[in-house]
Structure 1
Amino acid sequence: MRITTDRFANAFDDIRKRALSDGCSVLILVAADCDALCAYHMVKDLLRAEYIKYKMMSVENQVDLENSKTTIKESQGQIKVVLMINCGGTVDVAQVLDLSDEEQEDLCIYVLDSHRPLNLDNVYSENIRVFDDGETNIPQPEEVADSDSEDEDEDTDSGEPGAKRTKWGDRMAARIAKQQRLRSYYEAAYYGVSSAVLVGHLVSELGRSSNAFLWCSALGLTDQYLHDKISSDMYVQQALTLQSEILKFNSEEESRRHRGVSLAVEEDAKFFLLRHWTLFDAMRHSRYLVSRIPVWTNKGEERLRHLFATMGVSLQTCKQVYKTLDTATKAHILEQLKEHGHAYGLDTITFLSFTYRTGYEPAVAASDVVYAVNGILNHTAPEEDVQRRVFKALDCLSMRKKDVFEFGVHCAKEQEMAVMNQVQFAFQDDTGPRQRWHLAMVRTESKRFFTRPAMLTKLAQFLVDVRRFNTMKAYRMRQQVVAIQNEEDDTTTYVGVWSRSRHREGAVVPNLFSSLFPAVAEECKADYALPEFDGAVVQLLKEHHGRFVLKLMREIIRITREQQQQAAAAAAAE
């Protein structure tokens, strides 16, 4: 069942009534990503304001989601509501949680998930409620399900044989069309509206908006934008809506009421953690800049230095800690980048962003908080499990623990440098420029940074952008797969990012690897697991690597050829 935005308040009222009726609690299953934690941070405050008991469990993958059924069954009916944030939307929840019909009727499950496509079993279920962001791609039941009339025995038709054959042909054509519609719907993975933004709609509908809630919505939206989950057009649309709310709550009078906490909407440069190291380092580790200027080559390094010279900014200034520069110098650098960046392919050097300020403290940019939170979530240490990392990330989101924020910044820097080193190695080792795809294996010395698929995805997106925006022929666009071998359980994890050679900057390409990976694994008769909520991740035993990669290569070549033929036909028709 889908819950539209105008019924969000009714859904929360239903949760409140169910939880308070018998003193029962709400189980919140939260994915280990920044957007989900921002949404949880807001939901938690709403439940506390209503004195509703709740329990939070962080789920990092599908295995954790399946294990949560133990908590539900052991509660002996004390859990009446389950809220899933950025998890559960792409799978059949009733099947994953192993719920009987009676348990489904007694338990109310809400799914708030930005992963797409949504599982239609959840959408059509009467006992599972899916928060709707207004997506129009979801098919109606009659578009994909065979009706009873189509299964009637054709012998009951008293017409002529020719008419019988025509009717049978029409039924088969309709059935094939429905199967094709279903395949098309599940073909590629993509993302919908940020879960934190949707909770922001709920808060606004309840009349409880505040700077704290608006800041969480801004962080969730920024997380999606920085990690290529939504298009720039969608980001700007949502950001402008947030901007109007922020301006309403941050007049001088309102700022005094909010105890000195203020939000602002400002331009931010597309450089990695600019305010937390030097301009030179921030630019050299920025995916936006490196994809246009390959700084790991002598020629790329020379171009970057030439850009500084053209701007009239000395290398000594660029290598000073950015926050120690005076305001006039910072403004001059940004103006010069806008003026001279076009000659280096840097056409959109800034984007609309948000800042958070408390009292006389320096303003904190939303992008920096997002990078810090993801740095904590992707940090790998033997003594830290997913629960510890999630709670530390929540401390970072609270904006009250500066040491945790600084730790997140440190982790993010280390991870970005590891990604840069891997990018450099991938292009130095790229010996097949004529192929339609590229497989990058993570180097042994860098494995500790890439144990989480989110880091593999970041690396794959980095490689895709270098091919997409660089003019060198050796970097021609190809489908990108990144893999890492896990010696402990003798498996290999693959992450894929699908690309198109001609899509405009800021657009997002649906990821066909989400359906391609399991299809190829099944054809190879290889046991596989889809461990992540993001469908474009697959894990196989290492012994299946050779035949999986060979079959995958053939399928990629076939699909890309078909896409090129379709594009050529469409261009000819125009």
Structure 2
Amino acid sequence: MNMSLFLSVENLVFIMATTKRVVVKVIWNMKKRVLVLVAFDVDAMCACKVLQSLFQCDQILYTIVPVVGKEDLERAYLENSEGVKHVIMINCGANFDIVETLQPLENVKFYICDSHRPVDIHNVYNAVQVKLLMKETELSVPEYDLLFRDEESEDESGNDSDSSDRPVPKKKRFDDEAIERRRERRLWEENRNKVLFDYNQFSSFGSSAALLLFELAWKMSKDSNDLLWLAIIGVTDQLLHYKTPREKYIEDVMALQSHVSRHNHRDDVDIISINCLKIMYDDEMNLSLYRHWSLFDSICHSINMACKFKVWTLKGQKRLHEFLAEMGLPLTQCKQKYSSMDSSLKGNIKNIIKEQMPKYGLEDEDVIVPSFFAQYGFRNKLCAMDITLACASILESFENGNTGTDSFLLALDVLDRSNVNAKEKGIEMARKQLQAIIKQVQIFLDMHQVISAGPFLYAFIQEGTPDVKFFAHPQCLMRLARFTLEAHCSVSRNKRSKTLPLVLGAPLDREQGTLLVIGIPPLSLDEERKNFFGKAFEQAASSTNARTLHDKFDTFIMEMKTDDRSKFFDALISLLQ
């Protein structure tokens, strides 16, 4: 693969400055602003803040516009492209032909920092207008000659100005050559279609955009603890929303740990400033928001623990009570706010759970996850997982008539370490989301609404269900789908259930009669995190003329007319059998 097609961390620096300060700052000196298009996810927001810090260091003008889908991206570009020569796209733009979609002027260049895979081949091989900020080791793109072929200039028919003067045998030879060329082209096109199908069949995710841009800041010697904390949250977002396998997450954590050691090597006694940020690495209990909740409620709303104990059943609740009793944790202590628990119990919970977990079928990954904590002045520790959930919940909250941009700005406030009120509001919203998820999972299981269609499982949230508004957004719907699949597999007597993917639909717009539909891979393929529903959805919609909208940057999420649901699913079943 041609390495010049990719922007390495060092090569991207020319947008702002060079590490040696010997090359003119292209954009600054031209007095041109940079347009930054940012997707609606926490990783993209963190990457945006890192980039914003770098721009401010070099006094570069920029415009940041959040975008929720392809149509929104097109509109944002048209409205903000006047005078713009450089466009940076964060977690958007990689998996479709950006030049064909936006039809930019020839002097406009796009710099794509996007974790979505696969990358569209036209973006990969357009070395003039498109530059990719990605790790080449994560890309496996077919060779150029397998995908593109120069048009032949000669006339395949063999007819030219003096063909009448040629003897018949020579003309026949030209006809044979033309037939052979057409045959070769047909075989090449068949092979190209096969290569493209294999390349685009599965969607997945690469490295965190926030981590890549932090590495850029590091190469420029402009990294800081604050930017490192943003990179940590970006990596954590990929874990919590099932974008990356646990092994890849641990690799990223190990890389981040070296930076944490470098920036936080001082002893506690040296940190006396109230404005100082200190980051620490430690094993974290895999319990959702337990520091801001009761231990009992946190266990009941954490996917791994809830599914192991089956907390939505009376038997499961009894088993959970036994588990807490064997650990020596009184129920009254567990049901009060974690911060109010007896300090002698609270300080040893992690070790106690580790001792008791084999008896209850719990594994290390169910209970413990490597993570990071931030200490800001003399305030309580902030957990990266808690901040990620708080930020995601605000990002997908459209209360009080807020627009998408309003929610984006409010979510940015959660990342501001000094904005305590925004964090508390985000954590409260995250708790509401988790409560809505567990209630919906219980409805699915109690009403036996998770149904096997043969090649996959499916479930639909009924119109009028309480808290249905939470599930009209991709990230919350993703967590619900994953919780539903794990919960169903934990109670199902069919051993095949772990090998089946899940399709989940939620009401989106009652007036327009639309659904938001998501497809997730089976638990048996959890180590790969490859999703085939993007192409499957497109083919099923095309074969039935179902009214669908494939507008999301995550191809495995789409919108669909409720009236077309039956014929669409019939086609999807036939396709996947």
Between 350-359 and 276-285, report the one with greater CA deviation.
Answer: 350-359
- In 2: Cα distance, 1:527 partner to 1:151 partner: 44
Q: Is 2:74 aligned against 1:58?
A: no
TM-superposed deviation, 1:12: 4.1
1:95 to 91, 100, 117: 100
* DSSP-derived class of the 2:198 partner: helix
Q: Is 2:537 aligned against 1:517?
A: yes
Change (3 A) 1:425 1:6: same
- Equivalent residues of 2:37, 2:88 under 8 A apart: yes
Q: Which sections of structure 1, spanning at least 5 residues, go unmatched?
A: 559-574
**Residue in 1 aligned with 2:166?**
none
Q: Map of 1:416-431 to 2, 5 A cutoff?
A: 416-430=434-448
**Residue in 1 aligned with 2:167?**
none
Q: Map of 1:413-562 to 2, 5 A cutoff?
A: 413-430=431-448, 432=451, 435-443=454-462, 444-445=464-465, 446-468=467-489, 472-473=493-494, 476-477=497-498, 478-485=500-507, 486-499=509-522, 502-503=524-525, 507-556=527-576, 558=577
* DSSP-derived class of the 1:28 partner: strand
TM-superposed deviation, 1:382: 4.3
- In 2: Cα distance, 1:151 partner to 1:416 partner: 65
Change (3 A) 1:22 1:162: closer
**Residue in 2 aligned with 1:68?**
76
The normalised TM-score by structure 2 is: 0.88
TM-superposed deviation, 1:19: 1.9
**Which structure has the greater CA radius of gyration?**
2
2:242 to 215, 228, 248: 228
Between 217-226 and 482-491, report the one with greater CA deviation.
Answer: 482-491
- Equivalent residues of 1:157, 1:164 under 8 A apart: no
**After superposition, what is the alpha-carbon deviation per residue over 1:143-180, rounded to whole angstroms, capped at 9, x for unaligned?**
32345589995999999x99999998777555433321
- Equivalent residues of 1:68, 1:97 under 8 A apart: no
* DSSP-derived class of the 1:30 partner: strand
2:148 to 126, 145, 149: 145
- Identity, % of aligned pairs? 25
Q: Is 2:201 aligned against 1:187?
A: yes
- Equivalent residues of 1:467, 1:475 under 8 A apart: no
Between 131-140 and 201-210, report the one with greater CA deviation.
Answer: 131-140
**Residue in 1 aligned with 2:361?**
345
- In 2: Cα distance, 1:150 partner to 1:338 partner: 71
1:128 to 127, 130, 149: 130
Change (3 A) 1:104 1:341: farther
- In 2: Cα distance, 1:221 partner to 1:441 partner: 30
Between 88-97 and 275-284, report the one with greater CA deviation.
Answer: 88-97
**Residue in 1 aligned with 2:44?**
36
Letter in 2 for 1:95: E
TM-superposed deviation, 1:363: 0.8
Letter in 2 for 1:272: S
Q: Map of 1:100-499 to 2, 5 A cutoff?
A: 103-105=105-107, 107-125=108-126, 126-134=128-136, 135-146=138-149, 174-252=188-266, 259-348=275-364, 349-430=367-448, 432=451, 435-443=454-462, 444-445=464-465, 446-468=467-489, 472-473=493-494, 476-477=497-498, 478-485=500-507, 486-499=509-522
TM-superposed deviation, 1:62: 1.7
Change (3 A) 1:21 1:507: same
- Equivalent residues of 2:109, 2:130 under 8 A apart: yes
TM-superposed deviation, 1:8: 3.5
The normalised TM-score by structure 1 is: 0.88
2:55 to 47, 58, 64: 47
- Equivalent residues of 1:308, 1:314 under 8 A apart: yes
**After superposition, what is the alpha-carbon deviation per residue over 1:511-534, rounded to whole angstroms, capped at 9, x for unaligned?**
111111111001001232112111
Letter in 2 for 1:417: Q
TM-superposed deviation, 1:472: 4.0
Change (3 A) 1:256 1:211: farther
- CA RMSD between the two structures: 2.9
